[in-house]
Amino acid sequence: MTDQELARIKGVKALFSDVDGVLTDGSIYVGPDNYELKRFTVDDGVGVAIARAAGLSLALISGRHSEATTSRAGQLKIEDVYQGYLNKLEPLELLLDKFGLTADEVAYVGDGLVDLPVLERVGVPVSVPNAPPWVRDRAMYVTQRAGGQGVLLEVVEWILTHQGRWDLVLSGMRKQIYMAD
With beta carbons less than 8 A apart as the criterion, state whether 49 and 15 touch. no
Q: What mean pLDDT comes out for the span 162-168?
A: 96
Q: How far apart are CA 82 and CA 79, in angstroms?
A: 10
Q: How far apart are the first and last CA of the chain?
A: 42
Tell which residue, 62, 55, 164, 171, has the closest CA to residue 114.
Answer: 62
**What band does 180 get if pLDDT is binned at 50, 70 and 90?**
low
In terms of residues, how long is the chain? 181
- Listed by start position, the domains of the chain span 3-180
Q: What mean pLDDT comes out for the span 133-142?
A: 97
Fold adopted by 3-180:
Rossmann fold (3.40.50)
Coil/strand/helix, residue 51: helix
Q: Is the pLDDT of residue 153 over 80?
A: yes
pTM above 0.85, yes or no: yes
- HSE at residue 125, side-chain half, CA atoms within 13 A, is 19
Question: CA torsion sign, 121 to 139 to 123 to 39?
Answer: positive
Give residue-wise pLDDT tens across range 50-105. Answer: 999 999 999 999 999 999 999 999 999 999 999 999 999 999 999 999 999 999 99
What's the pLDDT score for residue 178? 73
Percentage of the chain surpassing pLDDT 70?
A: 98
